[in-house]
């Protein structure tokens, strides 16, 4: 992957932190300033770890968070986008580190065990992954953020159907209106029809599968009446949508999971654990917002901004 550093102009637009201010804080607290996240070059680039990740912008941002933090701890790493499933990459042993979502990993590593989970929790998904890994791979600490699902509607839809503006999907008013609703779902979820019918007594008039950004837009423009999206999606707050929580967990809860090759497992710096703990729900909302929309940063730029804000790496000198 070719890294594109944040330019001073863009850094000033999103950062608001200055090197002088940051140094003052470190001096006052007695802490050492964080190391810079420098792109590996020369011999370091030749021995750099490869971090495989899918094409979703948020997934790529998380991978860049790990890569930049590892680089700052003298562990050269580069991100490589893979169009293969994370489970395939893990079993093929093609990369030193794989960043994937726990549901996709569990489904690919052990389809039978995954299929036996009727309403998998995040802990159950991690259990399937850990049990499926052989001695060539090791599960690192997953992100503290748990990606749940919400069914989002507009205030107009809520008012027309008398659905509580702060409620849950099992609201009787939602079930009563469901057979007339067009509901969109993101493509990585299990078949939603049976789950909605069994758990929420909901049989929608139509179910449409599309990416989350498209689903949010279709709800806003009334092409859809509702959509099932990740709870942490920034579009929910930005568009003032009502999010009905999936209280009965009809849909899986997942986490970002790093899987490392056994060959380098003992060399993983402690910062990997710190990153997993820092990647909470608020962090994911921030990162998604940075890579979304017309003024979006690249995944590497967003990762660097977040790492600087969280104190993991030093602010680049060219940020001004």
Structure confidence by residue, pLDDT tens digits, 46-79: 789 999 999 989 999 999 999 999 999 999 999 9
Percent of the chain at pLDDT > 90 equals 55
Structure-model confidence comparison of residues 115 and 40, the more confident one = 115
Q: What are phi and psi of 32, to 5 degrees?
A: -80, 140
Q: Are the C-beta atoms of residues 129 and 105 closer than 8 Å to each other? A: yes
Q: What are phi and psi of 71, to 5 degrees?
A: -60, -40
Structure confidence by residue, pLDDT tens digits, 213-238: 899 999 999 999 999 999 888 899 89
Q: Could you tell me whether strands 242-245 and 149-153 are parallel, antiparallel, or unpaired per DSSP bridges?
A: antiparallel
* pLDDT over threshold 70, residue 13: no
Q: What is residue 3's predicted lDDT score, i.e. its pLDDT?
A: 33
Structure-model confidence comparison of residues 30 and 79, the more confident one = 79
Mean pLDDT of the chain: 85
Summarize the confidence of residues 34-54 as an average pLDDT: 81
Q: What is residue 123's predicted lDDT score, i.e. its pLDDT?
A: 92
| Most distant CA pair in the chain, distance | 64
Model's pTM, two decimal places?
A: 0.83
Q: What is residue 32's predicted lDDT score, i.e. its pLDDT?
A: 66
Q: Work out whether the CA dihedral 55, 60, 63, 68 comes out positive or negative.
A: positive
Identify the burial level of 153 via C-beta atoms within 10 angstroms of its C-beta, where 0-12 means exposed, 13-18 middle and 19 or more buried: buried
Q: What is residue 31's predicted lDDT score, i.e. its pLDDT?
A: 55
CA 300 to chain CA mean position, Å: 14
Q: Are the C-beta atoms of residues 153 and 219 closer than 8 Å to each other? A: yes
Structure confidence by residue, pLDDT tens digits, 279-317: 999 999 999 999 987 788 999 999 999 999 999 999 988
């Amino acid at each position: 992957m070719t890294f594109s550093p944040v330019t001073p102009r863009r850094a000033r637009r999103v950062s608001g932190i200055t090197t002088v201010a940051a140094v003052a804080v470190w001096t006052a607290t007695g802490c050492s300033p964080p190391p810079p996240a420098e792109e590996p070059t020369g011999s370091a680039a030749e021995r750099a770890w490869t971090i495989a990740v899918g094409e979703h912008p948020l997934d790529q941002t998380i991978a860049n968070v790990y890569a930049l933090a590892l680089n700052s701890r003298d562990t050269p790493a580069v991100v490589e986008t893979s169009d293969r499933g994370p489970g395939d990459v893990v079993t093929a042993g093609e990369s030193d580190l794989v960043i994937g979502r726990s549901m996709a990993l569990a489904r690919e590593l052990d389809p039978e065990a995954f299929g036996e989970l009727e309403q998998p929790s995040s802990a159950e998904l991690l259990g399937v992954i850990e049990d499926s890994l052989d001695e060539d791979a090791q599960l690192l600490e997953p992100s503290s953020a748990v990606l749940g699902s919400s069914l989002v509607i507009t205030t107009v839809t809520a008012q027309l159907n008398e659905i509580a503006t702060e409620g849950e999907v099992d609201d009787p008013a939602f079930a009563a209106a469901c057979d007339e609703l067009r509901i969109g779902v993101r493509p990585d979820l299990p078949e939603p029809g049976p789950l909605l019918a069994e758990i929420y007594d909901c049989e929608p008039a139509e179910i449409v599968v599309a990416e989350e950004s498209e689903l949010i837009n279709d709800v806003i423009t009334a092409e859809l009446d509702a959509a099932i999206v990740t709870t942490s999606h920034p579009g929910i707050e930005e568009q003032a949508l009502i999010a009905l929580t999936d209280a009965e967990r009809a849909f899986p809860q997942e986490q970002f999971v790093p899987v490392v090759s056994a060959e380098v497992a003992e060399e993983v710096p402690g910062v990997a654990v710190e990153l997993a703990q820092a990647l909470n729900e608020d962090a994911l909302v921030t990162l998604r917002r940075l890579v979304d929309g017309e003024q979006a940063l690249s995944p590497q730029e967003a990762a660097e901004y977040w790492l600087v804000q969280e104190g993991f790496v030093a602010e680049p000198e060219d940020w001004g």
